[in-house]
A and B are shown apart, each in its own frame.
Chain A
Amino acid sequence: MANLAAVVGIGQTSYTTKREDVSIAGLVREAAVNALEDADLTWNDIDAVILGKAPDMFEGVIMPEVYLTDALGCNGKPMIRVHTAGSVGGSTALVAASHVQSGMFKRVLTVSFEKQSESNAMWALSNPQPFSTHLNAGAGGYFAPIIREYLRRSNAPYDAGIKVAVKDRLHGARNPLAHLQKPDITMQEVEESFMLWDPLRYLECCPSSDGACAMVIADEELAKKSPKPPAWIRGVAMRSEPTMYAGRNEVNPQAGRDCAADVYKQAGVSNPRKDFDCAEVYVPFSWYEPMWLENLGFAPEGEGWKLTMEGATSLDENGDIPWNCSGGVLSSNPIGASGMIRFAEVARQVRGDAGEHQVDGAKLALGHAYGGGAQFFAMWVVGSQKS
């Protein structure tokens, strides 16, 4: 049985297209200092640092953890780097949590980041390989056919994706850290935006952002002494599956369903829509909200879009299960950090510290990240109470 652990400090940078005022080191340090301040701690209080980062090619800095030791105050301290594609921010938080739950460390700092402006992340992964024709038209080009298949299976109305795009940007307008600030966005504006990868329009896709996110995770004894309410970690799970195998359900991946079942069991969740007060789920393309509503068991298969269209996931429509109150990946996407932001934002919610995008009285929430070809999954459940 794992020991109890909790999030006691959260720090983020603001998210923007180009942070030209800081280096990568300056960016991660800013988030880390914010997390330490939030926890009322100093560098000396940290036993180890867990750093997460999506592919090195994104910035062209190989093994950035080596270069970032000074900036993260971990000279002479243990440091580990995590790398699981787009889910990396979530996986990193889980690795950090496990180092406390196992009793290895009492208090760790975990950080993840992306400085997309220092490279071209969209194409950094599209290297030609002879056994495949070179048509990797970015992540949108990969996911659009899967979304098309979801549309076919579910008979969802064409504008469910548009609704998500609007909803998450309205949420983002409540969050001063969010990259896209579009308080006046309309369905019409999204619908008329350029069709990039049919059926995905420009405004149905995430932006490219610079930014970093950090958390301090402490054991039960230290968490009880923390000045602000801790967010207790009630369940942690990771699953993955191969990118390609015969009969793979790309729309509703087995690994995602298994990961959710595991984390729900740990947290005693039997009805996610009812038991959670909110969720932060990795939705880089609008249609992934209805798809993940089904994959995560918030709606029966083929009916995720109904929750979206009813406004169930919207703060502004007083939905019963708001998703991505921070604005989500659709409002800010520093890839390496995006998963950790989901995990940190649900911790903010159950600490009652989410500002204008707070869900009143949030007690239990789900953080989710996915990566690769929708094949790597990381999830945690955090609560205002220990059990």
Chain B
Amino acid sequence: MSEEEQEMITKVEAPVYLKYNFTAGSAPTRFLAQIKKGVLAGQRCPKCLAVYIPTRGSCGRCGVPTVEEVELSDKATVQSFTIVSIPIPNNPIEPPFIIANVVPDGANVSFIHLMSECVNEEVHIGQRVQAVWKPEDEWGYSMDNIRYFKPLDEPDVPIELIGKLTVTGEEG
């Protein structure tokens, strides 16, 4: 093929890989150190008393630092969820799977995690769930120490109480 006949090259793929060293900072360090021991640790806002997990060291509502550490339950309530039907790149989970916003007992904010051992169509807001942990010898500084949350055979939490239960699962 002569030079004239060649098609112009207008695009080549050149993926960019960025590798980060994550420096946790003081509050996430506490969270990560505790989860390595199989404990969900939150922090309480000194002003509004809301308990955050995973804590970032401040209350987003009051704009003040959080210091007091609070140990939370690994039982939680489903605040909302979605059934995902497409795969996550570099993640072996096969769709359809459930991503839920769960609030651990004793906390006032939710975080997202996987739900499993459930019938997808029966998952609902207010449902009680509990963490299923990896074997202890696999625990690291990671939320992934929890493999997923599974349904608990407990009555649903009324909507107005979601995110307001005490660490023992009672009305706050």
- Please report A residues at the B interface, Cβ cutoff 8 Å: 20-21, 60, 123, 126-127, 129-138, 140-141, 144-146, 148-149, 152, 194-200, 241-248
Decide if B54 touches A132 in the complex (CB within 8 Å): yes
* In-complex Cβ contact of A242 among B54, B60, B80 (8 A): B60
Decide if A130 touches B114 in the complex (CB within 8 Å): no
CB-defined contacts of B159 to chain A, threshold 8 Å? 152
A sample of 15 more A-B contacts (CB under 8 A), given A130-B24, A197-B82, is: A130-B142, A132-B111, A132-B112, A133-B114, A133-B144, A135-B112, A137-B84, A145-B82, A195-B85, A196-B86, A200-B82, A245-B60, A246-B52, A247-B61, A248-B60
- A127 closest partner in B (C-beta): B20
Q: Separation in Å of the B76 CB from the closest CB of chain A?
A: 13
Decide if B83 touches A197 in the complex (CB within 8 Å): yes
Decide if B80 touches A134 in the complex (CB within 8 Å): no
Decide if B146 touches A133 in the complex (CB within 8 Å): yes
Q: With A145-B82, A247-B108 in contact, do A131 and B125 touch (Cβ < 8 Å)?
A: no
Decide if A131 touches B11 in the complex (CB within 8 Å): no
Decide if A132 touches B143 in the complex (CB within 8 Å): yes
Q: With A60-B16, A141-B99, A148-B82 in contact, do A133 and B113 touch (Cβ < 8 Å)?
A: yes
Chain A CB within 8 A of B45 CB? yes
* In-complex Cβ contact of B10 among A20, A129, A194, A242 (8 A): A20
* In-complex Cβ contact of B84 among A130, A133, A141 (8 A): A141
Chain A CB within 8 A of B155 CB? no
Decide if B125 touches A198 in the complex (CB within 8 Å): no
Decide if A123 touches B86 in the complex (CB within 8 Å): no
Decide if A135 touches B113 in the complex (CB within 8 Å): yes
* In-complex Cβ contact of A244 among B60, B113, B142 (8 A): B60
Decide if A131 touches B54 in the complex (CB within 8 Å): yes
* In-complex Cβ contact of A246 among B48, B80, B91, B101 (8 A): B48
CB-defined contacts of B99 to chain A, threshold 8 Å? 135, 137, 141, 145
* In-complex Cβ contact of B82 among A20, A198, A246, A248 (8 A): A198
Q: Separation in Å of the B34 CB from the closest CB of chain A?
A: 11
CA–CA, A20 and B20, complex, Å = 32
- A152 closest partner in B (C-beta): B125
CB-defined contacts of B157 to chain A, threshold 8 Å? none
CB-defined contacts of B79 to chain A, threshold 8 Å? 145, 149
CA–CA, A137 and B144, complex, Å = 16
CB interface residues, B 74-98, toward A, < 8 Å: 79-86, 88-89, 91
CA–CA, A144 and B143, complex, Å = 22
